[in-house]
């Protein structure tokens, strides 16, 4: 996700991800831990979220659309970060 995109395309994709995101309904989400869309590389994990509960990432439309495999993006970082990317 996010590879080979120019800055404008990245920003546009980031907004699409945020629009589809279900982070706020997750048991792990902490009120006010915005922006959401932690799976996207330009957002990544959130320092306000420190405890992991039940991850609902696999139920998110972004997860399927982007063929993601990792979870707990809010505490562990984006897919790219979790797989050793930037």
**63 prior amide bond cis, ω within 30:** no
Q: What is the pLDDT of residues 21-57, one digit of tens each?
A: 999 999 999 999 999 999 999 999 999 999 999 999 9
* pTM value > 0.75: yes
Tell me the per-residue pLDDT of 18-31, one tens digit each, with 9 for 90 and over: 999 999 999 999 99
* pLDDT of 2 higher than 80: no
Tell me, rounded to whole angstroms, the distance of Cα 38 from its chain centroid.
2
In angstroms, the CA 84 to CA 11 distance is 22
Per-residue buried b or exposed e for 36-49, using 16+ beta carbons within 10 Å of the residue's own CB: bbbbbbebbbbeeb
For the chain, what are the domain ranges? Answer: 7-82
- pLDDT in the model for residue 5: 86
């Amino acid at each position: 996700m996010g590879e080979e995109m120019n800055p404008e395309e990245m920003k546009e994709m980031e907004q699409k991800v945020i629009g589809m995101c279900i982070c706020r309904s997750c048991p792990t989400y902490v009120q006010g831990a915005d922006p959401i869309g932690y799976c996207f590389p330009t957002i990544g994990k959130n320092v306000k979220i420190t405890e992991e509960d039940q991850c609902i990432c696999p139920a998110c439309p972004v997860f399927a659309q982007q063929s993601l495999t990792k979870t707990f993006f809010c505490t562990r970082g984006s897919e790219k970060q979790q797989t050793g990317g930037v």
